[in-house]
Homo-oligomer: A and B are copies of this chain.
Amino acid sequence: MIPDTETVRARWARVQHHLRADGVDAMVVVKPQNTFYLSGYTPMIYSHPVLVVLPAEGEPVFILHALRAHSSRTVSRISDIRPYGRWAKEIGPDHWWQVLAGVMAERGLGDARIGIEGEFLPVNYQRRLELTLPGAVFSDTGQALMRARYVKDAAELESLRVACEIADAGMDAALEAVAARRSEVEVSSAAMRTMQEVWSSLHPDRLAMDFGNLEGGVFNALWAYSLVGDRVPMNSAPPTSRRPVDGEIQWTVIWTAIDGMHAENERSVAVGPLPAERQRAFEALLAIRAEVQPVLRPGLTCAEVYEAARESYVRHGYGDYLPGRIGHGLGLGPHEQPSLGPNDDLVLEPGMTLTFEPNLRIPSFGGLQHSDSLVITEDGHELLTHTRRDLIQV
Residues of A within 8 A of B (CB): 33, 42-45, 47, 67-68, 70-71, 74, 86-89, 116-124, 126-127, 140, 183, 185-186, 188-190, 192-193, 196-197, 199-200, 204-205, 207-223, 225, 233-241, 321, 324, 333-335, 361, 363
A213: B residues at CB distance < 8 A: 120, 211-213
Alpha-carbon distance between A220 and B126 when the two chains are bound, in angstroms: 31
A239: B residues at CB distance < 8 A: 204
Alpha-carbon distance between A127 and B188 when the two chains are bound, in angstroms: 40
Alpha-carbon distance between A43 and B221 when the two chains are bound, in angstroms: 17
For A33, A189, A207, A241, which residue has the most chain B Cβ atoms within 10 angstroms? Answer: A189
A324: B residues at CB distance < 8 A: 86-87
| CB atoms of A211 and B218 under 8 A apart | yes
Nearest CB in chain B to that of A223: its residue: B220
A117: B residues at CB distance < 8 A: 122
Main secondary structure of the interface of A (DSSP, over half): loop
| CB atoms of A220 and B217 under 8 A apart | no
| CB atoms of A236 and B44 under 8 A apart | yes
Given A118-B122, A220-B221, A235-B71, residue A186 in contact with residue B200 (CB < 8 A) = yes
Given A122-B122, A123-B140, A234-B70, residue A205 in contact with residue B240 (CB < 8 A) = yes
Nearest chain B CB to A60 CB, angstrom units: 21
Alpha-carbon distance between A140 and B335 when the two chains are bound, in angstroms: 29
Alpha-carbon distance between A190 and B237 when the two chains are bound, in angstroms: 26
| CB atoms of B120 and A122 under 8 A apart | yes
Partner of A218, one of B68, B88, B127, B212: B212
| CB atoms of B361 and A88 under 8 A apart | yes
Nearest chain B CB to A117 CB, angstrom units: 8
| CB atoms of A188 and B209 under 8 A apart | no
Nearest CB in chain B to that of A334: its residue: B216
Nearest chain B CB to A136 CB, angstrom units: 14
| CB atoms of B214 and A188 under 8 A apart | no
A122: B residues at CB distance < 8 A: 117-123
| CB atoms of A237 and B71 under 8 A apart | yes
Nearest CB in chain B to that of A72: its residue: B234
Alpha-carbon distance between A87 and B235 when the two chains are bound, in angstroms: 11
Alpha-carbon distance between A34 and B205 when the two chains are bound, in angstroms: 36
Alpha-carbon distance between A185 and B220 when the two chains are bound, in angstroms: 12
Alpha-carbon distance between A70 and B116 when the two chains are bound, in angstroms: 36
Partner of A88, one of B87, B119, B192, B321: B321
Given A122-B123, A221-B218, A237-B44, residue A200 in contact with residue B209 (CB < 8 A) = no
Nearest chain B CB to A177 CB, angstrom units: 10
| CB atoms of B192 and A235 under 8 A apart | no
| CB atoms of B335 and A233 under 8 A apart | no
Nearest CB in chain B to that of A238: its residue: B207
| CB atoms of B240 and A204 under 8 A apart | yes
Sort A-B residue pairs by CB-CB distance and give the 7 closest, nearest first: A189-B200, A71-B234, A213-B213, A216-B334, A218-B218, A185-B204, A118-B124
Nearest chain B CB to A37 CB, angstrom units: 14
Partner of A121, one of B42, B87, B123, B223: B123
